[in-house]
Amino acid sequence: MTPESIANAIAAVVTSLGTLVGFASRRRRWRSEIRENLNLIEEINNNSLLKEHTPAVAWLAGKIAVDVAKLSGHPLGTPKKPIPWSNVVFSSILMVGFGYWTYALNGEEFVWYSIFPGVVSGLMLISAFGSFVNREIPPGGESELPDGAQPVRTGGASEEISRSVALRAVGEGDRYADDGQVGVAYSFVVCMKTGAFDDAAQLADANWLLCRIQAWLWNNRNHFGDDLERMATLADEMLQNRGDHNLWGEFASAEVDAFLEAWQNLDPETLGGASRRRIVARDYEVVVLAPVGDSGGYYVNSATIVPGALTFLMRRHEGRWVVASHLATAPPTPGFPPAWWVVGDPSVERLES
């Protein structure tokens, strides 16, 4: 072996070892930084000023989550399509074949018609190279967003993780738990869409359910009669006995049909809950569920009309959140007919003025 080849071999080995050592040292730095940040969170928690008046803990917790994901090898970033290896192999074979043909034609001297196989070889090279680039899968759904809305995914996966951890750190994430305001409203929609009316009723306020029963009796008064006292007694009996009442099955079936017709174009899998809290009274809060498509959510900087949005009034009752109204930002008022506080209620418009 020549001295030059020996030097090249040594350089290659040293470069590989340097890369390996650098990667290992970077992992050690990540671990050390994570430990230091965890200790720093404890110190910040002992500082009432930083803890109560700044989101410092949330920021630091988000950074730790991202660093742990990188350290554990969890993939971050936009998902990518798989490399089409069949196209790579086919393009490579044609590139080499036409490249060799071009070389053979110009073996002794350049001939002008060698340009044609040369161009084909170059195009095959571009095709093979193109199989490795621009493989990111767009989040999609942006075209379904309302005017003025910006998708939240633009910041990348690291920002997504940091934001999620930050919401939990400041307590906002509790609203999205299964028993939180947004979680209960979403479960209510899912139950109605799957026809599980009894489960949906368990997530609703008793006042809401009483008004639904009264509305059903009022709309079928040609069958039950116009005696309001009798209908009031019947409504109370159905509310108390529920599934054990002989009219409950007919009522539940009618309710499911009504909700399925009203929400026929609604896909619960595409719904997202608005992050801003909308407290309207003690123990009452408005929750907005809006379709976000495949965008992962969006934000708006000004008043925006959101097509297909659902507004729920949630009530905290006996330590849990329940649906107080699915139509308005005020609870319905019992009566015959009950008041739902929406404009255009046909039962109310037909009343004698």
Using one digit for the tens of pLDDT, what is the confidence trace for 261-292?
999 988 898 888 887 789 999 999 999 998 87
Contacts of 5 (CB under 8 A, 6+ apart): none
pLDDT for the residue numbered 2: 60
pLDDT for the residue numbered 320: 95
d(CA 279, CA 306): 20
* Burial class for 334, CB neighbours closer than 10 Å (0-12, 13-18, 19+): middle
Other CB atoms within 10 Å distance of the CB of residue 64:
19
d(CA 242, CA 236): 10
Using one digit for the tens of pLDDT, what is the confidence trace for 1-53?
565 665 565 555 545 545 544 545 777 888 888 888 888 888 888 887 777 66
pLDDT for the residue numbered 256: 96
pLDDT for the residue numbered 113: 84
d(CA 288, CA 170): 20
pLDDT for the residue numbered 20: 45
d(CA 239, CA 334): 13
* Burial class for 42, CB neighbours closer than 10 Å (0-12, 13-18, 19+): exposed
d(CA 276, CA 273): 9
Whether the bond between 332 and the residue before it is cis, its omega within 30 degrees of 0, is no
d(CA 47, CA 49): 6
Beta strands in the chain (DSSP E): 150-151, 271-273, 278-281, 284-291, 298-299, 310-317, 320-325
pLDDT for the residue numbered 28: 82
Which residue numbers in the chain have pLDDT < 50?
Answer: 14, 17, 20-21, 23, 140-143, 152-155, 161, 166-167, 169-171
* Burial class for 22, CB neighbours closer than 10 Å (0-12, 13-18, 19+): exposed
- The CA distances from residue 230 to 9, 191, 329, 353, in Å, are 98, 31, 30, 24
* CA dihedral of residues 138, 140, 143, 146 (deg, nearest 10): -120
Tell me the Ramachandran region of residue 339: left when phi exceeds 0, alpha when psi lies from -120 to 50, beta otherwise. beta
Which residue matches tokens 């738990």? 177
